[in-house]
């Protein structure tokens, strides 16, 4: 029997937990042609959420271009990634892909290949005499041309990636394009919240206030309880609400870590039996042992004050006030300025994330590992 708890990739169907309100909000944003920054911690299921939403759009009257910016590293790769996503959203057959490519992009050269699933796939390169800036303008204006006949939504995943380009050309051109495209919806997904917030909250950035923002939080315990209980029950295993609560406390409602822990608990639980505390602890220990080398390496790379700060975050209740005299004194951090330097460095390393006026350890299993110290 297949394990019902999925993690680490796209999660869909019955394996996807709740997010009904978020689905409705994002679908409404697309229909209203909004520009929306959707941000959260890593592995929060943003991609799965948005893929679920755009799959509900009618194929004949809508085009949804999903652009994964993680593999891109400059303006040229941004251009070709966006062109590929737009073309693929409009066509499926090799003939139509090629015809659409040539119709839409005069500054790009399409190449047809067959992917691992045996389906045609188009990729692009700049034509010999094309300038990157001109190609960028052409590709960014394409959604508006398409939207005259159908609903169009452009999804940029890992949008903070463009901050690593050599300059802000993409940001500037994107701002000038989208502000006049009232008929096109844009979703900008980001998994480093402090970077995404900087992009649209910093007055010096080109995309300052270029759209609304939609922070994605953890899934509430009230939604996890029936989801976890029913998935165990449907596969001939049983778990109490008390142990589900213990799982929720361990993972803080984070989708990836909750599904991961439940996955391992399910594997250790024999069919037609009930999960007990021993199985929960064994699954947790197993996860931490698997990650021990990586966590030890990370821990040894940190400065003393960074370790003290993380011990404080791991050992205190949620919403701790790390700049308070009590916290600083308890963990020997010296002064608020020392704490600020620690916070800045750990945010840059992506070890911690902001949490409504406080901070939390991004990797929930690393948090448990630190607690075990």
- How confident is the prediction for the chain on average, in pLDDT? 93
Task: Please tell me the predicted confidence (pLDDT) of residue 199.
Answer: 84
CA angle 104, 109, 112 (to 5 degrees): 95
Task: Please tell me the predicted confidence (pLDDT) of residue 245.
Answer: 98
3-state class of 61 per DSSP? coil
pLDDT over 90 percentage in the chain: 79
- Give the separation between CA 193 and CA 190, rounded to whole angstroms: 7
**Model confidence band, residue 267 (pLDDT cutoffs 50, 70, 90):** very high
- Give the separation between CA 360 and CA 338, rounded to whole angstroms: 18
Residue with tokens 């960074």: 306
The answer to whether the CB of 360 falls within 8 A of the CB of 252 is yes
- Give the separation between CA 125 and CA 86, rounded to whole angstroms: 15
Task: Please tell me the predicted confidence (pLDDT) of residue 351.
Answer: 96
The answer to whether the CB of 151 falls within 8 A of the CB of 30 is yes
Q: Give the CB-side neighbour count of residue 39, counting CA atoms within 13 A.
A: 20
- Give the separation between CA 256 and CA 68, rounded to whole angstroms: 19
Q: What is the separation, in whole angstroms, between the first and last Cα of the chain?
A: 37
The DSSP 8-state label assigned to residue 363 in this structure reads S
Instruction: Compare 116 and 104 and report the one with higher pLDDT.
Output: 104
- Give the separation between CA 269 and CA 276, rounded to whole angstroms: 9
**Model confidence band, residue 197 (pLDDT cutoffs 50, 70, 90):** confident
Contacts of residue 115, Cβ cutoff 8 Å, sequence gap at least 6: 121
What number of other Cβ atoms are within 10 A of residue 255's Cβ?
A: 26
**Model confidence band, residue 172 (pLDDT cutoffs 50, 70, 90):** very high
User: Tell me: the pLDDT tens digits for 247-264?
Assistant: 999 999 999 999 999 999
User: Tell me: the pLDDT tens digits for 17-38?
Assistant: 999 999 999 999 999 999 999 9
User: Tell me: the pLDDT tens digits for 291-337?
Assistant: 999 999 999 999 999 999 999 999 998 788 999 999 999 999 999 99
Nearest alpha carbon to residue 35 among 216, 198, 182: 182
pLDDT at residue 194 tops 80: no
Task: Please tell me the predicted confidence (pLDDT) of residue 356.
Answer: 81
Task: Please tell me the predicted confidence (pLDDT) of residue 91.
Answer: 83
Mean local confidence (pLDDT), 211-234: 95
- CA 17 → CA 103, 217, 276, 356, 365, distances in Å? 41, 13, 23, 23, 20
User: Strand 352-355 and strand 151-157: pairing?
Assistant: unpaired
pLDDT over 70 percentage in the chain: 100
The answer to whether the CB of 60 falls within 8 A of the CB of 154 is no
Residue-range domains of the chain with CATH = 19-92+127-215 (3.40.50.300), 219-300 (1.10.8), 302-373 (1.10.10)
Long-range contacts of 237-243 (CB under 8 A, 24+ apart): 237/266, 237/269, 237/270, 237/271, 237/272, 237/273, 237/274, 237/275, 238/273, 238/274, 238/275, 239/265, 239/269, 239/274, 239/275, 240/274, 240/275, 243/275, 243/276, 243/277, 243/280
Largest Cα separation within the chain, whole Å, is: 69
The answer to whether the CB of 199 falls within 8 A of the CB of 163 is yes
Query: What is the pTM for the complete model shown?
Result: 0.90
Q: Write out the DSSP string of 187-233.
A: EEEES-HHHHHHHHH-TTSTTTTSSEEEE--PPPHHHHHHHHHHHHH
**Model confidence band, residue 279 (pLDDT cutoffs 50, 70, 90):** very high
Q: Write out the DSSP string of 316-355.
A: SPSS--TTSHHHHHHTT---HHHHHHHHHHHHHTTSEEEE
Mean local confidence (pLDDT), 356-360: 88
**Model confidence band, residue 77 (pLDDT cutoffs 50, 70, 90):** very high
Task: Please tell me the predicted confidence (pLDDT) of residue 354.
Answer: 87
- Give the separation between CA 196 and CA 162, rounded to whole angstroms: 10
């Amino acid at each position: 029997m297949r394990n019902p708890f999925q993690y680490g990739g796209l999660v869909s169907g019955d394996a996807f937990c709740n997010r009904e309100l978020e689905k409705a909000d994002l679908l409404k944003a697309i229909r209203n042609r909004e520009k929306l920054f959707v941000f959260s911690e890593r592995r929060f299921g943003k991609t799965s959420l948005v893929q679920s939403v755009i799959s509900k759009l009618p194929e004949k009257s809508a085009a949804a271009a999903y652009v994964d910016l993680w593999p891109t590293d400059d303006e040229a790769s941004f251009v070709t990634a966006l062109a590929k996503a737009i073309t693929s959203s409009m066509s499926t057959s090799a003939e139509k892909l090629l015809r659409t490519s040539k119709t839409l992009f005069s500054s790009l050269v399409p190449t047809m290949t067959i992917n691992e699933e045996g389906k045609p796939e188009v990729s692009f390169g700049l034509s010999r005499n094309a300038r990157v800036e001109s190609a960028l303008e052409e590709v960014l204006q394409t959604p508006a041309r398409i939207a005259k006949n159908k609903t169009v939504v452009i999804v940029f995943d890992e949008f903070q990636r463009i901050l690593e380009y050599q300059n802000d050309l993409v940001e500037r051109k994107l701002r000038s394009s989208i502000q006049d495209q009232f008929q096109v919806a844009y979703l900008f997904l980001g998994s480093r919240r402090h970077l995404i917030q900087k992009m649209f909250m910093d007055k010096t950035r080109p995309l300052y206030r270029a759209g609304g923002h939609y922070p994605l939080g953890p899934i509430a315990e009230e939604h996890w309880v029936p989801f976890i209980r029913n998935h165990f029950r449907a596969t001939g295993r049983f778990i109490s609400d008390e142990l589900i609560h213990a799982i929720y406390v361990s993972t803080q409602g984070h989708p990836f870590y909750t599904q991961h822990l439940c996955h391992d608990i399910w594997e250790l639980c024999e069919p037609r039996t009930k999960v007990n505390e021993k199985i929960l602890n064994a699954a947790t220990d197993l996860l931490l042992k698997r990650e021990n080398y990586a966590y030890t390496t990370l821990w040894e790379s940190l400065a003393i004050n960074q370790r003290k700060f993380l011990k404080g975050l791991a050992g205190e209740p949620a919403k701790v006030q790390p700049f308070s005299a009590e916290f600083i004194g308890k963990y020997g951090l010296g002064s608020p300025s020392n704490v600020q330097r620690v916070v800045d460095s750990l945010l840059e390393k992506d070890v911690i994330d902001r949490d409504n006026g406080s901070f939390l350890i991004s990797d929930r299993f690393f948090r448990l590992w630190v607690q075990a110290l």
